[in-house]
Amino acid sequence: MTAAMSMLHPLPPQAEGIPLPVRFTYPFCYTPHPLCVLAAGEVQAYLSTRDDWQQELDEGKMFGVLVVRTAEGRLGFLAAFSGILAGNNVHPYFVPPVYDLLRPDGFFKVEEEQISLINARLRTLQADERYLQLKAALADEEQAARSALDAAKASMKAAKARREERRKEAALTPDEAEALIRESQFQKAECKRLERSLNERLDALRRPLGEWEDEMARLKAERKQRSAALQLRLFAQFEMLNARGERKNLCDIFAPTAQQVPPAGAGECAAPKLLQQAYLHGWQPLCMAEFWWGRSPKTEVRHHGHYYPACQGKCGPILGHMLQGLDVDESPRLQAMKQSSTAALEIVYEDSWLAVVNKPAGMLSVPGKEEAESVYSLMRRRYPTAEGPLTVHRLDMDTSGLMLIAKTKEAHRLLQEQFRQRVVSKRYIALLEGNVPADKGRIDLPLCPDPLDRPRQLVHPVHGKAAITDYEVLERKDGRTLVAFYPHTGRTHQLRLHAAHPQGLHCPIVGDPLYGHPATRLCLHAETLEFTHPDTGRRMRFCRGADF
């Protein structure tokens, strides 16, 4: 059997009679085709036989399948994993990497060894007993110097206060006044002499320590330069194909993007690996899916066995090139925006200062890159003479519900101030996958953007910003839970991530393509909005029920 045919696996018998997809999978938002589900089941069955991998698999890894048709009309599937598995990136069951950076005789391993030697030298210098002694001695001397200076300054301050008291008590003779001035000048000079003396002692300690730190700084600069050069040389080896037979390396693919330089790990995800092998062997890609296997990372939301879209940061530009020449499904996001463009935007309330509208799911709050209607554009046409930016706050495109519109700059300023002071009350209704055990509670998980996979967010204790949500269960039925969310902060995807994350409710919102499973719509609705009218000062409350 040739190497090519050994990586092409037959579909199981259940695939017989399943219609082939009309167009290839849109990889950034999709419902897996039944053929991909069957192929993924085969991969998962294979993984369960690998006892030697179980510890690593338990930690979690992304896998992918690609259903293809050969030139002879034979159907089959390819399998791939992202990154490295069991210390290697080449395993018989899976497609090989686009470029094998772990090849022992390759330039990557050779240069990596040089970088490893620099790291070893740095560790040796940082752990050297003489260096640590000098560092500790300098720290002690700096503390002693600060204490001596603080004491001298405190003494000067007390002496100054005594001189001021003498001047207030009685008139001084010229000689007495002159003596006080000389005392002040002498104390200032003494303080400066002390400061110079202390600095000389510190400099005597800093000089030998500086030699060590200069050498470490030189090694770090060399490591940085070598690493950057190695990455660029490595990325140039990744010659990515597309359906037209065109080749582009990763440097050229990322050059026009905002980041310009490929991120670490670019080209090593499952999706690019799969497409590369299909093109190399002249096989027609039909559909593709990627699934997570194992525990969820602490910062992300990844459910065992769930399907996930390709990442935008690393795979977005690459797949943008590799899919050229294929007939690809339209983005469900675009489909939803087109449908929402024809939907009516209900005006719940309006006066000369503001309006409250009920946004349908799939409509943008403000204009995006795509040409589609948004709440802003509709409101701008409805109120052509309105001042200011109109939209006071936003809802995710996939979220439906109440939004506040300001018709004047002053109204906009006052309403936004209420949001900043967190005196606007909001209640969201969400339908969750799974049963939430507690009837009510609070979720406190800090959030930040995922720089390599926007618009996904991460739970991050260091870089995340505070995000707090109260919840109460309204109903449990058929393995799902209807909840009310009361957010105290307004972070991007806050409710979606707080619902899905294992440290949150561990029950994703129904229809969430990023943190759960895609469906007809995201079952999240901004039901209630309460605020103070910027003109009358009257508290106003509006409510519109969810349609799920």
Give the Cα separation of 393 and 356 in Å (integer). Answer: 11
Give the Cα separation of 285 and 24 in Å (integer). Answer: 7
Give the Cα separation of 428 and 319 in Å (integer). Answer: 36
Q: How many CA atoms lie within 13 A of 370 on its CB side?
A: 18
* Strand ranges (E), 49-207: 61-69, 75-81
Catalytic member of 51, 105, 150, 396: 396
Query: What are the residues facing 374 on neighbouring strands?
Result: 364
- Structure token digits, residue 323: 């899919």
SS3 state of residue 186: helix
- Structure token digits, residue 5: 């045919």
* Strand ranges (E), 105-209: none
Among 427, 433, 431, 463, residue whose Cα is nearest residue 447: 463
Terminal C-alpha separation, the chain: 53
Active site residue 396: yes
Question: 66: Cβ–Cβ under 8 A, 6 or more apart, which residues?
Answer: 77, 78, 80, 274, 275, 278, 285, 287, 288
Whether the CB-CB separation of 461 and 503 falls below 8 Å is answered with no
User: How far from chain centre, in Å, is Cα 107?
Assistant: 32
Give the Cα separation of 331 and 29 in Å (integer). Answer: 7
User: How far from chain centre, in Å, is Cα 461?
Assistant: 13
Segment (H or E) for 249: strand 247-249
Provide the 10 A C-beta neighbour count for residue 455: 12
Q: How many CA atoms lie within 13 A of 324 on its CB side?
A: 15
Among 72, 102, 70, 75, residue whose Cα is nearest residue 86: 102
* Strand ranges (E), 407-520: 425-433, 440-444, 447-449, 457-459, 468-477, 480-487
Whether the CB-CB separation of 83 and 265 falls below 8 Å is answered with yes
SS3 state of residue 163: helix
Cis peptide, bond prior to residue 92, ω within 30 of zero = no
Provide the 10 A C-beta neighbour count for residue 169: 8
Whether the CB-CB separation of 435 and 479 falls below 8 Å is answered with yes
Write the CA distances from 466 to 211, 287, 456, 463, 471, integer angstroms: 43, 40, 17, 10, 17
Give the Cα separation of 130 and 295 in Å (integer). Answer: 45
Positions marked catalytic: 396
